[in-house]
Amino acid sequence: MEQQSHDFTDLVTGHQQRMYRYIISLLGHADAAWDVLQETNRVLLEKRNEFEAGTNFVNWALTVAQFQTMAWLRNLKRDRLIATPDIIELIADDAQEMNVGEDSKLRALQSCLESLSDHHRDLVHRRYARSEKLSDLSEQTGRTVNAMKQLLFRIREALMNCIQHRLEGESR
C-alpha cells in the first residue's frame, strides 16, 4: 500500500507541467491556472483511492482539471476572464488533444522564434514574458495600440504556420 501511495504521488508530481499547460490553454491566464492547478492537485490526492493503477492517469487527471477549472470559474466574477464554464466544457476535449506532442511543439517553436527579427522577438518577449501593456509598448514604439495588436497577430500567425510546417516535416 505504501508503494502504491508513492507511485500515485509520483504520478501527480510527474505530470504537473502537463496539467498546468492544459489549464492555461483553457483559461489563458497564468496566475488563474496556477490557482486551479493547486486545487486540482488537492482533489487528485483526495480521490487517490478512486484511481485504478494501470489505467490512464493523464486522462483522469486532466478531466479532474477540467472540472476544477469550471468550478473555479463559477465562483469568479463574470467579467474577470473570457472563459466561462460552458465554454470550458466545449473546449476541454480539444485542449486535451492539443496537449499531446508538446515537446516537439516546443522544439519547433524555439526554432521558429529564432527566425524572427530581433525587433519582433524583443516585442514578443516584452509583451508575453514581461507582460508589458499594449499602451506602454505603443507609446515606446510610436505605433498605435491597434497597430501593435495587428503586428502581434501577424507575428503569431507566422509562428503558428512555421510550427505547423516543422511538425509536418518531422512526421514525414
Partner 1 sequence: MSGNDDARTDTKRLIADAVEDARDAPLEPARLESIRQLLLTSPEARRYYLQVNEINHHFAGRSVLPPESEIVALQSNVPAAPLRSRFFTTRVLTGAVTVLAVVVSAAVLLRHREPPVTRSYRIAQLEQINGEVFVTTAGADARTISASTDIASGDTIRTHGAPSSALLRHADGTRLLLAGNSSLTVSDFGQKSVVFHAGTMFATVAPQPAGRPMLITTPKDTLQIVGTRFSLDATEHRTDLCVSEGRVKITRLRDGESVEVPAGQRVVSDSASELALEKIPAAPDTWNVDFESGLPDGWESGALVADDLPNGSRLAVKAVRVDEGADESYAIVSQPNWLRGVFSVHPDSSMQITFKMETPSWINVFIITHTRDSAEPHFANNFQYNEIPFGRLQPGRWYSITIPLAEFKRLPGYTDEPLQDLLPFQIVFNFPAPDRGLVIDEIRIARGGPETVELKRID
Please give the residues from 37 up to 66 whose contact with partner 1 meets the rule CB under 8 A. Answer: 37-39, 41-46, 48
CB of 62 to partner 1, least distance (A): 14
Q: Cβ closer to partner 1: 86 or 170?
A: 86
| By the rule CB under 8 A, 13 interacts with partner 1 | yes
* Binding-site size, partner 1 (CB under 8 A): 71
Nearer to partner 1, 2 or 118 (CB): 2
Cell of 151: 503586428
- Contacting partner 1 within 93-152 (CB under 8 A): 94-95, 98, 102, 105-106, 109, 124-125, 127-129, 131, 133-135, 149, 152
Distance CA 33, CA 83 (A): 12
Nearer residue to partner 1 within complex by CB, 59 or 150 = 150
Q: How far is the CB of 171 from partner 1 (least distance, A)?
A: 18
Please list, residue by residue across 67-105, b when 16 or more beta carbons sit within 10 angstroms of its beta carbon and e when fewer do: bbbbebbeeeeeeebebebeebeeebeebbeebeeeeeb
CB of 129 to partner 1, least distance (A): 5
In three-state form (DSSP H/G/I as H, E/B as E, the rest C), the secondary structure along 71-100 is: HHHHCCCCCCCCCCHHHHHHHHHHHHHHHC
Distance CA 139, CA 36 (A): 35
Task: Establish if 21 lies at the interface with partner 1 (CB under 8 A).
Answer: yes
Q: 62 or 159, CB closer to partner 1?
A: 159
Beta carbon of residue 39, minimum distance to partner 1 (angstroms, whole number): 5
Which parts of the chain fold into alpha helices (H)?
2-14, 16-27, 30-46, 57-74, 85-99, 102-114, 118-124, 134-141, 145-171
The nearer residue to partner 1, 59 or 123, going by C-beta atoms, is 123
Measured in whole angstroms, the distance separating CA 144 from the mean position of its chain's CA atoms is 29
Query: Nearest approach, Cβ of 79 to partner 1 (angstroms)?
Result: 5
